Structure 1
Amino acid sequence: MREDYKKHLSGQIEKYFSDLEMRIMEDIVRRIRKTGKITSTADWQINRLSILGYSPEDIENMLKEALNKSYPEMFELYDKVIEWEYVRNKDIYEQINAEFIPYEENEELQQIAEALIQQSGNDLQNITKSLGFYLDYGTGKPVLTPLAEVYQKYLDAACLDIVTGAFDYNSVLRRVVTQLTNSGLRQIDYASGRANRIDVAARRAVMTGVSQLSGKISEMNAKKLGTDYFEVEWHAGARPTHAAWQGRVYSKEELTTVCGLGSVTGLLGANCYHMYYPFVKGISERNWTDEWLVEQNRKESLPKTFKGKEYTLYEAKQQQRKMETAMRAQREKAVLLKQGGADPDDVMLAKAKYQGQLGEYARFCKRMGLHQERERIYYDMRGRVAPAPKRFRR
């Protein structure tokens, strides 16, 4: 299946949940701004319910909207997986005189596809049930709190600081916007305890289901083709543990014993971009020779230096993702500060920092020989957050 197509549709799903996160954050900032006009603690207490009372309900509606928008793209992605991954082996079926059953008549494949689509759907639903923020209550250990409760805690603390005169409005707004953009909405992977932003979690839930469907189709085709062998895909910049086995041919048993199929860290595991396809000896031809793979691994392991630090290709791609995440957070911060009516100097500083991050990103990618994936930064569709940097002639 074309990688660019998978990226396009999964990016759409990711964007819906990024928009959800931003709408909630904007609502928090709007309410803080509104409360900042109240000059008495008594008035704040009286108005608290009208200001905060419907927030959890509003958030629930936002979640439903995001889910309803993401499902059509999810279903389209699964349809294309079935179309491309299943039909791609039709020629091999004909070469060995095996019967190729169209998807519309293949009840087994239909059941597998439906089960995995439901699985991805359940994961997306679980994201909505697990929403929350990490907070530090002074113990130095982050604590996860349900979204509705945290939502009100942020607002309560901000409003109280403002109306009691303990802090000025701009200081409170800077603090809350920084808390929001640094923590972000979260989904918890209960098996590992690791947290991810909701947009990333949504994308991963769907892509995991897509990968598993592709694997099931490959195994079904292999069984019908009478082969026990599979060729595992190769891609540039694979994590070192995956680079050791990618691009080669393995038996079904070796997919598990060598490649770790079925484990979180192995083939088709978390954030794994590899796939495997039936390999019929005497008919199929390898896409990557052992000699080519050895040489490619050697090249990718040679480090390049940026600002005194060395990066292999895999490490460079990981750093690239971190930089993109940091820039998305900084874009949010600049927009939220402006919408909250913060001091213009604070807004300008936030934009300037983002502008500097963009320049650093471009220089890093050029030095590492990476393609800039700015669509990962801009999928919030908020246009230009900071003015383009001026170019000077030396």
Structure 2
Amino acid sequence: MARVTPEKAEQLSWPIVQIYSSIQTEILENIGALLAKDTKALEADVNQWYALKLEQIGGLTRENIRAISKKSKLTQKKIREILQNIGMEGIEANETVLQKAIAQGIPLMAALPVKQDPAIWQILDAFARQATDIYNLVNSTMLTQSQVVYRDILTQTVAGVISGLKTPQQALRSTVQDWSQKGIPALITADGKRRYAEGYAYTVIRTMGNNVANEMQDSRFDSYGVDLVEISSHVGARPKCAPYQGRIFSRSGNDPKYPALSSTSKGEPDGLFGINCGHFQYPYIPGISEQRYHPVNAERNEKAYKESQKQRALERNIRNNKRELATFEKMNDEIGAKRAHRKVLDGQARLRAFLEETGRTRRREREQIYN
């Protein structure tokens, strides 16, 4: 069976991103549809418009509850499926190597078949519950923050008009544009920083998927008595992962030839197997295993990493502009929609030029918003 790759793990995780992209877009469209009403009141008296629109927040909240409730049901179904797929891809490729080693007389312990190993299913259950709890909190936060976003749009619009620097429509358009670009917050950290729905949803499922795969791998290594592991490698690895990829480590730290796995950046949030990490570990059996991965040239890796970050920024810009376009269309704001559409086209042109210059592959699914 093929070994799991960062690309495959991302592909398996993407349905969750699509769901939260869809929820975020629908919430902003609901806000846009509500702001499309009572435009005459906005032009006549901005303070009366503010009071009128504030009274309508209850209806908006009910619409947002329906959107979150309907689409988050899909999340619950997908979480376990995604985590199981990533986890199984991470361990099944190892089983052939380990069984071959036993057949050739390597002194490993006999392990239960994967499907009969209770530890594997306990790991899956634990992470599926944890991920479900996190996404339930995300749902609650998005609902609360959608009200915050709506109120802020009203408040900033009034402030823009009172300042005398903008017409009512200009003030409203400017504030809506700001929030459409940012999205709906899904997490407020202890220091007050906001993490937005689409990006945070991706971070959670990717990190959980990697955790499941690596913990399942660790569990199987324990069952077989495996000490040496090979770390996968790919071009464009993060700075704290790059020095360790494609190398062999001792899990116990007692091997005279290979360094301890604990000597790596494992355990650090941005380190090996940390948040959004794309690395996996595989058994290395001297005399049986053929080293599949090798360190990547540091200069080449750094160049690829910077290019990958630039590509993701360009893709994110396209998504943000598409979300802005969708919101202005719901507002019936032709000027705002026309400008947003132009920004989408310009962003796509910049991405195409970048890909042509670097030779990187276009990932169209990462340019889409979903609804």
TM-score tier after normalising by the smaller chain length: 0.7 to 0.9
8 Å CA contact retained: 1:29, 1:173: no
Aligned-pair CA distance for 1:19: 1.2
Structure 2 CA distance for aligned equivalents of residues 337 and 319 of structure 1: 27
1:9 maps to which residue? Answer: 12
Q: 1:255 to 1:211 in 2, by over 3 A?
A: farther
- Whether 2:337 is the aligned partner of 1:347: answer yes
8 Å CA contact retained: 1:35, 1:159: no
8 Å CA contact retained: 1:233, 1:274: yes
2:256 maps to which residue? Answer: none
Structure 2 CA distance for aligned equivalents of residues 347 and 60 of structure 1: 26
**Uncovered stretches (5+) of structure 1, i.e. residues with no partner:** 133-144, 302-311, 382-394
8 Å CA contact retained: 2:231, 2:282: yes
Aligned-pair CA distance for 1:188: 3.1
- Whether 2:328 is the aligned partner of 1:337: answer yes
Q: 1:195 to 1:49 in 2, by over 3 A?
A: closer
2:197 corresponds to which letter in structure 1?
I
8 Å CA contact retained: 1:222, 1:229: no
- Whether 2:277 is the aligned partner of 1:277: answer no
1:88 maps to which residue? Answer: 93
Match of 1:376 among 344, 355, 366: 366
Match of 1:366 among 348, 352, 356: 356
Structure 1 CA distance for aligned equivalents of residues 182 and 300 of structure 2: 37
Match of 1:54 among 56, 59, 83: 59
2:154 maps to which residue? Answer: 155
Aligned-pair CA distance for 1:167: 5.3
Match of 1:268 among 268, 273, 278: 273
Structure 2 CA distance for aligned equivalents of residues 366 and 207 of structure 1: 28
Structure 1 CA distance for aligned equivalents of residues 327 and 208 of structure 2: 34
Structure 1 CA distance for aligned equivalents of residues 50 and 324 of structure 2: 29
Aligned-pair CA distance for 1:186: 1.7
2:236 corresponds to which letter in structure 1?
G
Structure 2 CA distance for aligned equivalents of residues 202 and 364 of structure 1: 27
1:76 corresponds to which letter in structure 2?
E
Match of 1:79 among 80, 84, 96: 84
2:133 corresponds to which letter in structure 1?
N
Aligned-pair CA distance for 1:120: 1.2
Aligned-pair CA distance for 1:185: 1.2
Structure 1 CA distance for aligned equivalents of residues 317 and 51 of structure 2: 39
1:200 maps to which residue? Answer: 199
Q: 1:375 to 1:212 in 2, by over 3 A?
A: same
Query: How many residue pairs end up in the alignment?
Result: 354
Structure 2 CA distance for aligned equivalents of residues 45 and 186 of structure 1: 23
1:99 maps to which residue? Answer: 110
Q: 1:205 to 1:348 in 2, by over 3 A?
A: same
Report the secondary structure of 1:277's partner residue.
strand
8 Å CA contact retained: 1:30, 1:340: yes
Structure 1 CA distance for aligned equivalents of residues 260 and 80 of structure 2: 28
TM-score (norm 2): 0.84
8 Å CA contact retained: 2:322, 2:369: no
Report the secondary structure of 1:270's partner residue.
coil
- Whether 2:126 is the aligned partner of 1:123: answer no
> Percentage identity across aligned positions?
21
Aligned-pair CA distance for 1:5: 4.3
Structure 2 CA distance for aligned equivalents of residues 348 and 48 of structure 1: 25
RMSD: 3.0
- Whether 2:27 is the aligned partner of 1:24: answer yes
2:95 corresponds to which letter in structure 1?
K
8 Å CA contact retained: 2:228, 2:249: yes
1:259 maps to which residue? Answer: 264
